[in-house]
Amino acid sequence: MYNWIKSFLLLTALTILFIWIGGIIGGQTGMVIAFVLAFLMNFFSYWYSDKIVLAAYRAKPVSENEAPELYSIVRELSVKAGIPVPKIYIIPSPQPNAFATGRNPEHAAVAVTSGILQLLNREELKGVLGHELGHVIHRDILIQSVAATVAGAIMLLASMARWAAIFGGFSRDDDNGGIIGLLVVAILAPLAATLIQLAISRSREYLADKKGAELAGNPLYLANALKKLDSYSKQLPMPNANPQTAHMFIVNPLSGKTLAKLFSTHPPMEERIKKLEEMAYSN
Active-site residue list: 132
Pairing of strands 108-113, 87-91: parallel
Number of residues written out for the chain = 283
Could you tell me which of 21, 43, 243, 59 has the C-alpha nearest to residue 146? Answer: 43
- Rounded to the nearest 10°, the torsion over CA 10, 16, 21, 26 is 160
How far is the C-alpha of 158 from the C-alpha of 267, rounded, in Å?
Answer: 26
Is 236 within 8 Å of 257 (Cβ atoms)?
A: no
How far is the C-alpha of 109 from the C-alpha of 255, rounded, in Å?
Answer: 24
Could you tell me which of 281, 278, 254 has the C-alpha nearest to residue 266? Answer: 254
Give the angle 59-63-69 at the CA atoms, nearest 5°: 100
Residue 190's H or E segment, with its range, is: helix 175-216
User: Radius of gyration of the chain from Cα atoms?
Assistant: 20
Amino acid 79 reads V
